[in-house]
């Protein structure tokens, strides 16, 4: 039997400039409409967050992008190819990490990664080296030769990420990658994902832990009920977004009276952590701080009380209620 051509040289840098673009994607299962009308753009070099409540169709959309499901309708390009007509081309360029994935419990992380390397048809002499590199990347060297079942959930999650990276894909589809990670692992994951994006890869990360995505996402796509509700560039959204800010001063009484005098409404109950006010963006916050300082209020803190994503998400769900 002829040896199949290795589609993408694994050493080659990921195809820059080709991320994901999808429009009007629809997918039903019998009578159930899982994805009604979704569209998104995930450019290379950026982390795009896919945000939505449970059952909003995030996972189904990722399955379509990962060449596992045929959509009923929609225009999709993943890494420059159509996942329905050219699944092989897409597969050689994407790394997929499902939300709930099984592991071969009796194998070791090293064996798992070497097998995946073979499955992606890396040259045979590269398998061991590639497994070593990835184990170092996700900090699993100590456990490399222990059976997978001794790994904690977070460690398995890191192994899952390593598996998605074996063939050095230019596009990464990560479904809830931070689920089950302890704080330290989350920070490390954040670092890894930012590095991957900095290399020119396109990352699409789904989650409903907004604080998680806040730190890493450049863009956010909000989905609900199988539809794309909103798509934001977070760096653009941040300065002008209406969201709660938290103010704290040395004397809370004077702060409250000054706010009252300036006509700023306080939201919620003032507590020892400070006073929350609703402000429409950075400009307004700066003006408020300036006014307070001018009036002699000794302000020690002024910061957004909710993340950009959280605020946008709440705003979105507010409108639907």
Partner 1 sequence: MSTATREAAGPGGARRPRIRRASWRGVVTVAGHEFRLRVRTGRWRWLLGAWFAVLLAFTALLRWALAETRPTPVTGPVPGPGAADVPPPAPLGTPMLGGLMLFVLGLALLVVPALTAQSVNGDRERGVLATLQVTLLTPAEIALGKLLAAWLTALVFLATTLPLVVWVMVEGGVGIARVVVTLLVVALLLGVMCAVAQCLSALLARTTTSAVLSYLTVFAATVGTVVVFALALPLTTTTEQVTERVPVWDDPPPGEAPGGPADRHAPPPHPPGQGEPDRWETRTYERSQVRPERVWWLLAPNPFVILADAAPAAEPRFDPRTGERLSNPLDPLGEIATAVRDARASEDPQAVPGIVPSGPEQPEPPRPDPVWPYGLAFDVLLAAGAIALTIRRLRTPVRSLPRGVRIA
Binding site for partner 1 (CB under 8 A): 1-5, 7, 29-30, 63-64, 66-70, 83-88, 91-92, 94, 96, 98, 100-104, 106-107, 111, 115-116, 118-121, 163
- List the Cα angle 283/210/28 in 5-degree steps: 120
Alpha-helical regions (H) of 241-307: 252-262, 282-294
Nearer to partner 1, 1 or 12 (CB): 1
Q: Kindly state the smallest distance separating residue 116's Cβ from partner 1, in Å.
A: 7
Looking at the Cβ atoms of 54 and 106, the one nearer to partner 1 is 106
Instruction: Please name the helix (run of DSSP H) or strand (run of DSSP E) that holds residue 203, with its range, or none.
Output: strand 202-207
Q: How far is the CB of 187 from partner 1 (least distance, A)?
A: 26
Phi and psi angles of residue 205, each rounded to the nearest 5 degrees, phi first = -120, 120
Q: What are the φ and ψ backbone dihedral angles of 68, each rounded to 5 degrees?
A: -100, -30
Q: For the chain, give the number of residues.
A: 321
Output 88 or 298, the one with its CB closest to partner 1.
88
Of residues 206 and 241, the one with the C-beta less far from partner 1: 206
Query: What one-character DSSP code corresponds to residue 96?
Result: E
Minimum CB distance to partner 1 smaller for 72 or for 287:
72
Map residue 81 onto helix, strand or coil.
strand
Residue with tokens 């989350």: 186
Interior angle at CA 165, CA 162 and CA 171, nearest 5? 140
CB of 167 to partner 1, least distance (A): 8
Tokens of 24: 């009007």
Residue 76 CB, nearest approach to partner 1 (Å): 11
Query: Residue 12 has what DSSP assignment?
Result: S
Quote the least distance from Cβ 122 to partner 1, whole Å: 10
Q: Which is nearer to partner 1, 162 or 255 (CB)?
A: 162
Closest to partner 1 by CB, 163 vs 232, is 163
Considering the complex, what minimum distance in angstroms separates the CB of residue 12 from partner 1? 15
Q: Which residues on neighbouring strands pair with residue 271, listed in sequence order?
A: 274
The residue among 273, 306, 310, 279 whose CA lies nearest residue 292 is 279
For the bound state, the minimum distance from the C-beta of residue 150 to partner 1, rounded and expressed in Å, comes to 14
């Amino acid at each position: 039997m002829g040896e199949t051509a290795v589609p993408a040289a694994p050493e080659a840098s990921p195809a820059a400039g080709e991320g994901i673009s999808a429009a009007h994607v629809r997918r039903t299962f019998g009578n159930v409409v899982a994805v009604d009308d979704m569209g998104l753009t995930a450019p290379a070099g950026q982390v795009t967050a896919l945000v939505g409540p449970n059952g909003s169709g995030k996972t189904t959309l990722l399955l379509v992008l990962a060449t596992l499901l045929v959509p009923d309708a929609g225009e999709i390009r993943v890494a420059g190819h159509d996942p329905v007509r050219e699944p092989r081309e897409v597969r050689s360029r994407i790394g997929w990490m499902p939300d709930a994935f099984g592991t071969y419990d009796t194998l070791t992380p090293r064996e798992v990664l070497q097998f995946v390397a073979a499955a992606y048809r890396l040259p045979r002499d590269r398998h061991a080296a590639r497994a070593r590199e990835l184990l170092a990347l996700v900090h699993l060297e100590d456990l490399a030769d222990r059976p997978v079942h001794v790994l904690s959930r977070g460690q398995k999650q890191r192994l899952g990420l390593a598996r998605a990276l074996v063939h050095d894909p230019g596009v990464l589809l990560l479904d809830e990658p931070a689920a089950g990670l302890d704080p330290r692992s989350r920070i490390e994951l954040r670092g890894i994902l930012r590095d991957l994006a900095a290399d020119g890869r396109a990352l699409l990360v789904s989650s409903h832990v907004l604080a998680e995505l806040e730190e890493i996402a450049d863009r956010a796509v909000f989905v609900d009920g199988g539809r794309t509700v909103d798509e934001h560039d977070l760096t653009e959204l941040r300065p002008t977004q209406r969201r709660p800010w938290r103010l704290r001063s040395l004397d809370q009484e004077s702060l409250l009276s000054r706010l009252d005098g300036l006509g700023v409404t306080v939201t919620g109950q003032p507590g020892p952590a400070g006073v929350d006010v609703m402000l429409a963006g950075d400009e307004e916050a700066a003006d408020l701080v300036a006014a307070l300082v001018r009036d002699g209020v000794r302000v020690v803190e002024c910061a957004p009380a909710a993340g950009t994503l959280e605020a946008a998400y709440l705003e979105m769900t507010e409108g639907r209620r």
